[in-house]
Amino acid sequence: MSSLYLHIPFCEHKCIYCDFYSIAPKENPEHDNALRERFLSSLKHEITMRSEEDRFHSSYETIFFGGGTPSLLSPSTIDEILNLLSRSFHIRTDAEVTLETNPGTVDLETLKAFRSAGVNRISMGIQSFHDDDLKFLSRIHSSLEAKECVRNAYEAGFENVSFDLIFALPSQTRERWEANLQQAMELHPTHISCYSLIVEPNTPLYRMVESKQVILLNTEDDAALYEYTIECLTSHGYEQYEVSNFAKPGFKSRHNSNYWNHSNYLGFGPSAHSYWNGLRWWNISNVVGYSERLEQRLLPVVGEERLTPQQLVEEEIFLGLRSEGINVAGFQSRHQRDVMNDHRSTFEALLDQQMMVFDGEKLRLTPKGYMVCDEICASLQ
Protein backbone atom coordinates (compact mmCIF):
# COMPACT_ATOMS: atom_id res chain seq x y z
CA MET A 1 0.00 0.00 0.00
CA SER A 2 1.07 3.60 -0.63
CA SER A 3 0.72 6.93 1.15
CA LEU A 4 0.16 10.60 0.36
CA TYR A 5 1.76 13.49 2.24
CA LEU A 6 0.85 17.17 1.90
CA HIS A 7 3.15 19.82 3.34
CA ILE A 8 1.24 22.94 4.39
CA PRO A 9 3.96 25.53 5.09
CA PHE A 10 2.07 28.09 7.19
CA CYS A 11 2.43 28.73 10.92
CA GLU A 12 1.11 31.31 13.35
CA HIS A 13 4.61 31.53 14.81
CA LYS A 14 7.94 29.79 14.18
CA CYS A 15 9.09 27.78 17.23
CA ILE A 16 12.70 28.08 18.36
CA TYR A 17 13.55 24.39 17.81
CA CYS A 18 11.79 23.76 14.49
CA ASP A 19 13.81 23.22 11.29
CA PHE A 20 10.89 22.14 9.07
CA TYR A 21 10.15 24.51 6.21
CA SER A 22 7.41 26.89 7.27
CA ILE A 23 6.61 30.60 7.17
CA ALA A 24 4.88 32.81 9.72
CA PRO A 25 2.54 35.74 8.89
CA LYS A 26 4.05 39.06 7.94
CA GLU A 27 2.64 42.48 8.74
CA ASN A 28 0.56 42.67 5.56
CA PRO A 29 -2.55 40.42 5.80
CA GLU A 30 -3.38 40.97 2.14
CA HIS A 31 0.03 39.66 1.14
CA ASP A 32 -0.37 36.63 3.41
CA ASN A 33 -3.80 35.81 2.00
CA ALA A 34 -2.60 36.18 -1.57
CA LEU A 35 0.40 33.93 -0.88
CA ARG A 36 -1.82 31.29 0.69
CA GLU A 37 -4.26 31.32 -2.22
CA ARG A 38 -1.37 31.08 -4.68
CA PHE A 39 0.04 28.13 -2.78
CA LEU A 40 -3.31 26.31 -2.71
CA SER A 41 -3.75 26.76 -6.43
CA SER A 42 -0.23 25.40 -7.02
CA LEU A 43 -0.80 22.46 -4.67
CA LYS A 44 -3.85 21.45 -6.70
CA HIS A 45 -1.81 21.72 -9.91
CA GLU A 46 0.87 19.44 -8.47
CA ILE A 47 -1.70 16.84 -7.38
CA THR A 48 -3.28 16.86 -10.82
CA MET A 49 0.05 16.62 -12.64
CA ARG A 50 1.21 13.66 -10.56
CA SER A 51 -2.10 11.87 -11.02
CA GLU A 52 -1.54 11.92 -14.79
CA GLU A 53 1.53 9.66 -14.41
CA ASP A 54 0.64 5.99 -14.83
CA ARG A 55 3.29 4.83 -12.34
CA PHE A 56 1.31 6.40 -9.48
CA HIS A 57 -1.92 4.51 -10.22
CA SER A 58 -1.70 2.68 -6.91
CA SER A 59 -3.96 2.11 -3.92
CA TYR A 60 -3.38 4.65 -1.15
CA GLU A 61 -4.13 3.79 2.46
CA THR A 62 -3.00 6.95 4.28
CA ILE A 63 -3.13 10.70 3.78
CA PHE A 64 -1.16 13.01 6.06
CA PHE A 65 -1.44 16.81 6.26
CA GLY A 66 1.80 18.02 7.85
CA GLY A 67 3.64 21.29 8.09
CA GLY A 68 3.71 23.94 9.29
CA THR A 69 0.28 23.99 10.84
CA PRO A 70 -2.25 22.49 8.41
CA SER A 71 -5.14 23.31 10.74
CA LEU A 72 -4.68 26.98 9.77
CA LEU A 73 -6.44 26.02 6.54
CA SER A 74 -10.22 26.13 6.71
CA PRO A 75 -12.16 22.86 6.97
CA SER A 76 -13.72 23.66 3.58
CA THR A 77 -10.23 23.90 2.05
CA ILE A 78 -9.21 20.56 3.57
CA ASP A 79 -12.45 19.09 2.23
CA GLU A 80 -11.67 20.47 -1.23
CA ILE A 81 -8.17 18.97 -1.20
CA LEU A 82 -9.44 15.58 -0.02
CA ASN A 83 -12.07 15.56 -2.76
CA LEU A 84 -9.39 16.34 -5.35
CA LEU A 85 -7.20 13.52 -4.02
CA SER A 86 -10.14 11.12 -4.22
CA ARG A 87 -10.80 12.10 -7.82
CA SER A 88 -7.12 11.89 -8.73
CA PHE A 89 -6.00 8.70 -6.95
CA HIS A 90 -7.49 5.48 -5.67
CA ILE A 91 -7.97 6.17 -1.96
CA ARG A 92 -9.07 3.22 0.15
CA THR A 93 -12.40 3.65 1.91
CA ASP A 94 -10.72 2.86 5.25
CA ALA A 95 -7.80 5.24 4.67
CA GLU A 96 -6.17 6.85 7.68
CA VAL A 97 -6.41 10.63 7.18
CA THR A 98 -4.27 12.64 9.62
CA LEU A 99 -4.27 16.38 10.22
CA GLU A 100 -1.55 17.99 12.31
CA THR A 101 -2.85 20.77 14.51
CA ASN A 102 -1.70 23.01 17.31
CA PRO A 103 -3.81 23.94 20.33
CA GLY A 104 -4.85 27.54 19.99
CA THR A 105 -5.57 27.23 16.26
CA VAL A 106 -8.81 25.21 16.47
CA ASP A 107 -12.00 25.16 18.52
CA LEU A 108 -14.72 22.56 18.92
CA GLU A 109 -16.70 23.66 15.88
CA THR A 110 -13.60 23.70 13.67
CA LEU A 111 -12.66 20.19 14.79
CA LYS A 112 -16.19 18.99 14.04
CA ALA A 113 -15.89 20.49 10.55
CA PHE A 114 -12.52 18.80 9.96
CA ARG A 115 -14.07 15.50 11.03
CA SER A 116 -16.97 16.02 8.63
CA ALA A 117 -14.52 16.78 5.84
CA GLY A 118 -13.02 13.30 6.17
CA VAL A 119 -10.13 13.73 8.62
CA ASN A 120 -10.22 10.77 11.02
CA ARG A 121 -6.96 11.19 12.94
CA ILE A 122 -5.73 14.30 14.77
CA SER A 123 -2.08 14.80 15.70
CA MET A 124 -1.47 17.68 18.13
CA GLY A 125 1.76 19.50 18.83
CA ILE A 126 1.31 19.88 22.59
CA GLN A 127 4.98 19.44 23.64
CA SER A 128 4.41 20.16 27.36
CA PHE A 129 1.75 20.68 30.01
CA HIS A 130 3.91 23.23 31.85
CA ASP A 131 3.32 26.83 30.80
CA ASP A 132 6.93 27.87 31.44
CA ASP A 133 8.12 25.08 29.13
CA LEU A 134 5.68 26.24 26.46
CA LYS A 135 6.95 29.80 26.80
CA PHE A 136 10.57 28.62 26.43
CA LEU A 137 9.66 26.58 23.34
CA SER A 138 7.81 29.65 21.97
CA ARG A 139 4.54 27.76 21.62
CA ILE A 140 1.41 29.87 21.17
CA HIS A 141 -0.88 27.85 23.47
CA SER A 142 -1.21 27.29 27.19
CA SER A 143 -1.50 24.03 29.11
CA LEU A 144 -5.22 24.62 29.65
CA GLU A 145 -5.73 25.19 25.92
CA ALA A 146 -3.87 21.97 25.16
CA LYS A 147 -6.11 19.93 27.45
CA GLU A 148 -9.23 21.59 26.07
CA CYS A 149 -8.09 20.81 22.52
CA VAL A 150 -7.75 17.10 23.30
CA ARG A 151 -11.17 16.97 24.96
CA ASN A 152 -12.70 18.89 22.06
CA ALA A 153 -11.23 16.42 19.57
CA TYR A 154 -13.00 13.54 21.25
CA GLU A 155 -16.23 15.53 21.52
CA ALA A 156 -15.96 16.36 17.81
CA GLY A 157 -16.07 12.64 16.99
CA PHE A 158 -12.40 11.74 16.61
CA GLU A 159 -11.57 8.29 17.93
CA ASN A 160 -7.87 8.49 17.02
CA VAL A 161 -6.14 11.32 18.88
CA SER A 162 -2.37 11.64 19.03
CA PHE A 163 -0.08 14.26 20.49
CA ASP A 164 3.62 15.05 20.75
CA LEU A 165 5.61 15.76 23.89
CA ILE A 166 9.23 16.91 24.23
CA PHE A 167 11.48 15.83 27.09
CA ALA A 168 15.07 16.65 28.11
CA LEU A 169 14.37 20.36 28.19
CA PRO A 170 17.06 22.47 29.91
CA SER A 171 17.03 21.82 33.68
CA GLN A 172 14.09 19.43 33.38
CA THR A 173 13.78 17.15 36.40
CA ARG A 174 12.29 13.69 36.48
CA GLU A 175 9.47 15.03 38.67
CA ARG A 176 8.45 17.61 36.08
CA TRP A 177 8.54 15.03 33.29
CA GLU A 178 6.53 12.60 35.43
CA ALA A 179 3.92 15.34 35.88
CA ASN A 180 3.84 15.86 32.11
CA LEU A 181 3.21 12.17 31.45
CA GLN A 182 0.64 11.95 34.25
CA GLN A 183 -1.36 14.80 32.73
CA ALA A 184 -1.04 13.13 29.33
CA MET A 185 -2.45 9.84 30.68
CA GLU A 186 -5.44 11.65 32.15
CA LEU A 187 -6.45 12.76 28.64
CA HIS A 188 -6.46 9.18 27.28
CA PRO A 189 -4.81 9.76 23.89
CA THR A 190 -4.66 6.76 21.58
CA HIS A 191 -1.11 7.62 20.47
CA ILE A 192 1.78 9.57 21.98
CA SER A 193 5.09 10.61 20.40
CA CYS A 194 7.82 11.54 22.89
CA TYR A 195 10.93 13.21 21.52
CA SER A 196 14.11 14.28 23.23
CA LEU A 197 14.88 17.95 22.54
CA ILE A 198 17.12 18.06 19.49
CA VAL A 199 19.12 21.13 18.53
CA GLU A 200 18.98 21.55 14.76
CA PRO A 201 21.37 23.86 12.86
CA ASN A 202 20.03 27.21 11.69
CA THR A 203 17.36 27.43 14.39
CA PRO A 204 17.05 30.05 17.14
CA LEU A 205 17.62 27.29 19.71
CA TYR A 206 20.93 26.39 18.05
CA ARG A 207 22.08 30.00 18.36
CA MET A 208 20.92 30.13 21.99
CA VAL A 209 22.95 27.02 22.79
CA GLU A 210 26.00 28.33 20.91
CA SER A 211 25.88 31.60 22.87
CA LYS A 212 25.44 29.73 26.20
CA GLN A 213 22.01 31.28 26.77
CA VAL A 214 20.69 27.75 27.01
CA ILE A 215 22.46 24.83 28.68
CA LEU A 216 21.22 21.44 27.48
CA LEU A 217 20.48 18.55 29.79
CA ASN A 218 23.36 16.10 30.04
CA THR A 219 23.30 12.78 28.20
CA GLU A 220 22.80 10.66 31.32
CA ASP A 221 19.75 12.61 32.50
CA ASP A 222 18.34 12.59 28.97
CA ALA A 223 18.67 8.78 28.85
CA ALA A 224 17.09 8.40 32.30
CA LEU A 225 14.04 10.42 31.22
CA TYR A 226 13.71 8.32 28.08
CA GLU A 227 13.93 5.11 30.10
CA TYR A 228 11.21 6.38 32.44
CA THR A 229 9.06 7.33 29.44
CA ILE A 230 9.16 3.76 28.15
CA GLU A 231 8.36 2.32 31.59
CA CYS A 232 5.50 4.75 32.20
CA LEU A 233 3.76 4.46 28.85
CA THR A 234 4.09 0.70 28.46
CA SER A 235 2.72 0.22 31.98
CA HIS A 236 -0.33 2.26 30.94
CA GLY A 237 -1.15 0.02 27.99
CA TYR A 238 0.81 1.75 25.23
CA GLU A 239 2.91 -0.36 22.88
CA GLN A 240 6.25 1.09 21.84
CA TYR A 241 6.36 0.41 18.12
CA GLU A 242 9.16 2.85 17.21
CA VAL A 243 11.89 4.61 19.13
CA SER A 244 9.71 7.65 19.91
CA ASN A 245 6.18 6.39 19.27
CA PHE A 246 3.69 4.66 21.55
CA ALA A 247 0.16 3.54 20.71
CA LYS A 248 -2.83 1.85 22.26
CA PRO A 249 -3.67 -1.47 20.54
CA GLY A 250 -5.03 -0.79 17.06
CA PHE A 251 -3.83 2.82 16.94
CA LYS A 252 -0.32 2.70 15.49
CA SER A 253 0.20 5.40 12.87
CA ARG A 254 -0.25 3.58 9.59
CA HIS A 255 1.26 6.52 7.72
CA ASN A 256 4.48 6.61 9.73
CA SER A 257 4.72 2.81 9.61
CA ASN A 258 4.66 3.03 5.82
CA TYR A 259 7.69 5.32 5.94
CA TRP A 260 9.52 2.82 8.13
CA ASN A 261 8.76 -0.24 6.00
CA HIS A 262 9.88 1.33 2.71
CA SER A 263 6.38 1.60 1.26
CA ASN A 264 5.88 4.06 -1.60
CA TYR A 265 4.69 7.57 -0.81
CA LEU A 266 4.04 10.75 -2.75
CA GLY A 267 4.73 14.15 -1.22
CA PHE A 268 3.10 17.42 -2.30
CA GLY A 269 4.00 20.98 -1.32
CA PRO A 270 7.25 22.90 -0.77
CA SER A 271 10.03 20.77 0.81
CA ALA A 272 7.94 17.58 0.54
CA HIS A 273 9.83 14.34 -0.09
CA SER A 274 8.66 11.32 -2.09
CA TYR A 275 9.82 7.72 -2.41
CA TRP A 276 8.79 5.32 -5.16
CA ASN A 277 10.35 1.93 -5.90
CA GLY A 278 13.86 2.91 -4.84
CA LEU A 279 13.80 6.48 -6.20
CA ARG A 280 13.69 9.37 -3.72
CA TRP A 281 13.08 13.00 -4.71
CA TRP A 282 12.25 16.29 -3.00
CA ASN A 283 10.59 19.59 -3.79
CA ILE A 284 11.96 23.10 -3.57
CA SER A 285 11.83 24.52 -0.01
CA ASN A 286 10.35 27.88 -0.95
CA VAL A 287 6.66 28.57 -1.38
CA VAL A 288 7.15 31.27 -4.02
CA GLY A 289 9.59 29.16 -6.05
CA TYR A 290 7.27 26.19 -5.66
CA SER A 291 4.34 28.18 -7.08
CA GLU A 292 6.41 29.68 -9.90
CA ARG A 293 7.40 26.20 -11.12
CA LEU A 294 3.86 24.88 -11.12
CA GLU A 295 2.46 27.98 -12.79
CA GLN A 296 4.78 27.09 -15.67
CA ARG A 297 3.47 23.51 -15.64
CA LEU A 298 6.79 22.28 -14.24
CA LEU A 299 7.06 19.92 -11.31
CA PRO A 300 8.84 21.60 -8.35
CA VAL A 301 11.44 18.83 -7.89
CA VAL A 302 14.95 20.08 -7.11
CA GLY A 303 16.77 16.84 -6.35
CA GLU A 304 16.55 13.07 -6.54
CA GLU A 305 18.57 9.95 -5.81
CA ARG A 306 18.27 6.34 -6.91
CA LEU A 307 19.06 4.14 -3.93
CA THR A 308 21.63 1.44 -4.61
CA PRO A 309 20.95 -2.17 -3.52
CA GLN A 310 23.37 -1.64 -0.62
CA GLN A 311 21.60 1.57 0.46
CA LEU A 312 18.26 -0.22 0.42
CA VAL A 313 19.71 -2.97 2.61
CA GLU A 314 21.18 -0.48 5.09
CA GLU A 315 17.99 1.59 5.24
CA GLU A 316 15.81 -1.46 5.80
CA ILE A 317 18.01 -2.56 8.70
CA PHE A 318 18.07 0.95 10.20
CA LEU A 319 14.34 1.57 9.77
CA GLY A 320 13.44 -1.93 10.93
CA LEU A 321 15.44 -1.68 14.13
CA ARG A 322 13.99 1.77 14.87
CA SER A 323 10.48 0.41 14.52
CA GLU A 324 8.89 -3.04 14.66
CA GLY A 325 11.85 -5.14 13.64
CA ILE A 326 13.38 -6.89 10.64
CA ASN A 327 11.37 -9.69 9.07
CA VAL A 328 14.21 -12.12 8.37
CA ALA A 329 12.49 -14.17 5.65
CA GLY A 330 11.10 -11.06 3.95
CA PHE A 331 14.54 -9.44 4.03
CA GLN A 332 16.10 -12.47 2.35
CA SER A 333 13.37 -12.56 -0.29
CA ARG A 334 13.85 -8.88 -1.16
CA HIS A 335 17.64 -8.71 -1.05
CA GLN A 336 18.84 -12.32 -1.44
CA ARG A 337 20.84 -11.87 1.73
CA ASP A 338 20.70 -13.54 5.13
CA VAL A 339 20.65 -10.61 7.56
CA MET A 340 21.19 -12.95 10.52
CA ASN A 341 24.31 -14.42 8.97
CA ASP A 342 25.65 -11.05 7.74
CA HIS A 343 25.67 -9.63 11.27
CA ARG A 344 25.75 -12.80 13.35
CA SER A 345 28.29 -11.73 15.97
CA THR A 346 26.61 -8.37 16.59
CA PHE A 347 23.12 -9.86 16.78
CA GLU A 348 24.25 -12.68 19.06
CA ALA A 349 25.78 -10.14 21.44
CA LEU A 350 22.61 -8.04 21.40
CA LEU A 351 20.49 -11.12 22.07
CA ASP A 352 22.75 -12.14 24.96
CA GLN A 353 22.53 -8.62 26.42
CA GLN A 354 18.70 -8.66 26.07
CA MET A 355 18.84 -5.64 23.79
CA MET A 356 17.27 -7.66 21.00
CA VAL A 357 14.80 -10.53 20.68
CA PHE A 358 14.04 -12.96 17.87
CA ASP A 359 10.54 -14.45 17.81
CA GLY A 360 11.22 -16.83 14.94
CA GLU A 361 10.07 -14.25 12.41
CA LYS A 362 11.39 -10.82 13.36
CA LEU A 363 14.53 -9.43 14.93
CA ARG A 364 13.56 -6.43 17.01
CA LEU A 365 15.03 -4.27 19.71
CA THR A 366 13.83 -4.41 23.30
CA PRO A 367 13.24 -1.19 25.29
CA LYS A 368 16.83 -1.62 26.51
CA GLY A 369 17.98 -1.76 22.89
CA TYR A 370 15.91 1.27 21.89
CA MET A 371 17.94 3.23 24.45
CA VAL A 372 21.03 2.86 22.24
CA CYS A 373 19.37 2.37 18.87
CA ASP A 374 21.56 4.87 17.01
CA GLU A 375 24.74 3.26 18.29
CA ILE A 376 23.50 -0.20 17.32
CA CYS A 377 22.58 0.94 13.80
CA ALA A 378 25.97 2.62 13.39
CA SER A 379 27.73 -0.62 14.35
CA LEU A 380 25.93 -2.47 11.55
CA GLN A 381 27.08 -0.22 8.72
* 232 and 99 in a common domain: yes
Percentage of the chain surpassing pLDDT 90? 89
* 225 and 98 in a common domain: yes
- Range with the poorest average pLDDT among 107-116, 118-127, 210-219: 210-219
Domain end residue (candidates: 243, 260, 277): 260
Considering the domain boundaries, does residue 290 fall inside one? Answer: no
* 349 and 245 in a common domain: no
For residues 1-6, give the mean pLDDT: 95
Considering the domain boundaries, does residue 161 fall inside one? Answer: yes
* 177 and 120 in a common domain: yes
340 vs 95, residue with greater confidence: 95
* 203 and 105 in a common domain: yes
Considering the domain boundaries, does residue 275 fall inside one? Answer: no
Specify the CATH number for the domain of residue 206. Answer: 3.20.20.70
* 168 and 38 in a common domain: yes
Residue 108 scores a pLDDT above 90: yes
Residue 17 scores a pLDDT above 70: yes
Considering the domain boundaries, does residue 71 fall inside one? Answer: yes
Compute the C-alpha angle 267/166/379, nearest 5°. 70
What's the number of domains the chain is made of?
A: 2
User: pLDDT category, 30, cuts 50, 70, 90?
Assistant: confident
- How much is the mean pLDDT over the chain? 95
Percentage of the chain surpassing pLDDT 70? 99
Residue 167 scores a pLDDT above 90: yes
- Full domain range(s) for residue 56: 2-260
pLDDT tens-digit readout, 208-243: 999 999 999 999 999 999 999 999 999 999 999 999
Considering the domain boundaries, does residue 228 fall inside one? Answer: yes
* 238 and 167 in a common domain: yes
Considering the domain boundaries, does residue 46 fall inside one? Answer: yes
pLDDT at residue 283, rounded to an integer = 98
* 326 and 200 in a common domain: no
Residue 184 scores a pLDDT above 90: yes
pLDDT tens-digit readout, 297-328: 999 999 999 999 999 999 999 999 999 999 99
pLDDT at residue 380, rounded to an integer = 82
pTM: 0.95
Residue 60: count of CB within 10 angstroms of its CB: 21
Using alpha carbons, select from 138, 113, 176, 118 the residue that is nearest to residue 11. 138
* 356 and 233 in a common domain: no
Specify the CATH number for the domain of residue 359. Answer: 1.10.10.920
Residue 28 scores a pLDDT above 70: no
* 216 and 103 in a common domain: yes
Pair 337, 330: CB distance under 8 Å: no
User: pLDDT category, 27, cuts 50, 70, 90?
Assistant: low
Paired strand residues for 123: 100, 162
DSSP state at residue 242: E
| Pairwise CA distance, residues 68 & 14, whole Å | 9
Domain end residue (candidates: 260, 278, 294): 260
Residue 26 scores a pLDDT above 80: no
Considering the domain boundaries, does residue 303 fall inside one? Answer: no
* Pure H helices in 236-352: 254-260, 287-295, 309-322, 328-335, 339-342, 344-352
- Range with the poorest average pLDDT among 18-27, 91-100, 116-125: 18-27
Considering the domain boundaries, does residue 145 fall inside one? Answer: yes
* 339 and 200 in a common domain: no
* 63 and 182 in a common domain: yes
